């Protein structure tokens, strides 16, 4: 794709999604003015490079600032879910690994369905003040290849 085509594509994309464009512009300005961005829960990421005279450094800082409130909030919610899951897991189960928005839990086969439903419920309801409902899926397998 050539530069002109890419520019037109991006322009059309934001015409279709004006709220996204508004979010990006608002977040850029906030990062410039405050010197940081934050998650829904108040965890902050400083943005000093937004004032860099180097274009590449400055644009990278803008991309990080735009991404952090969303991805950081998702990470915060995931940590909340992991804490709650850990409290409620039966002694026979072990939380082995977290990969982005997924948890790998080792549990005896006969308890897998029940524990899976419990984890799903926790992940969907650990934070209910969002304007959208969180959705989680469960997969059960004897190994990672079956998930």
User: What confidence score (pLDDT) does residue 2 get?
Assistant: 87
Domain with CATH 3.30.70.370 in the chain: 77-146
Domain covering 77-146, topology: Alpha-Beta Plaits (3.30.70)
d(CA 126, CA 79): 10
Does pTM top 0.85 for this prediction? yes
Average pLDDT over residues 102-113: 96
Percentage with pLDDT > 70 across the chain: 100
* 127 burial level (CB within 10 Å; 0-12, 13-18, 19+): middle
What are the backbone dihedrals phi and psi of residue 2, each rounded to the nearest 5 degrees, phi first? -85, 165
Give yes or no for residue 119 having a pLDDT over 90.
yes
User: What confidence score (pLDDT) does residue 144 get?
Assistant: 84
Strand partners, 49: none
Domain with CATH 1.10.150.20 in the chain: 3-74
d(CA 104, CA 108): 13
**Token representation of residue 110:** 């006969």
User: What confidence score (pLDDT) does residue 1 get?
Assistant: 78
Name the superfamily (CATH) of residues 3-74: 5' to 3' exonuclease, C-terminal subdomain (1.10.150.20)
Average pLDDT over residues 4-32: 94
């Amino acid at each position: 794709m050539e530069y002109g085509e890419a520019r037109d594509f991006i322009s059309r994309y934001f015409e279709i999604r004006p709220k996204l464009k508004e979010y990006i512009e608002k977040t850029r300005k906030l990062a410039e003015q405050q010197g940081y961005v934050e998650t829904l829960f108040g965890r902050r990421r400083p943005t000093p490079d937004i004032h860099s005279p180097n274009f590449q450094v400055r644009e990278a800082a803008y991309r990080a600032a735009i991404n952090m409130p969303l991805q950081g909030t998702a990470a915060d919610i995931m940590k909340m879910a992991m804490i709650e899951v850990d409290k409620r897991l039966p002694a026979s189960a072990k939380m082995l690994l977290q990969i982005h928005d997924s948890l790998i839990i080792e549990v005896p086969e006969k308890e897998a369905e029940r524990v899976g439903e419990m984890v799903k419920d926790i992940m969907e309801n650990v934070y209910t003040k969002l304007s959208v409902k969180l959705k989680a899926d469960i997969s059960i397998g004897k190994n990672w290849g079956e998930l």
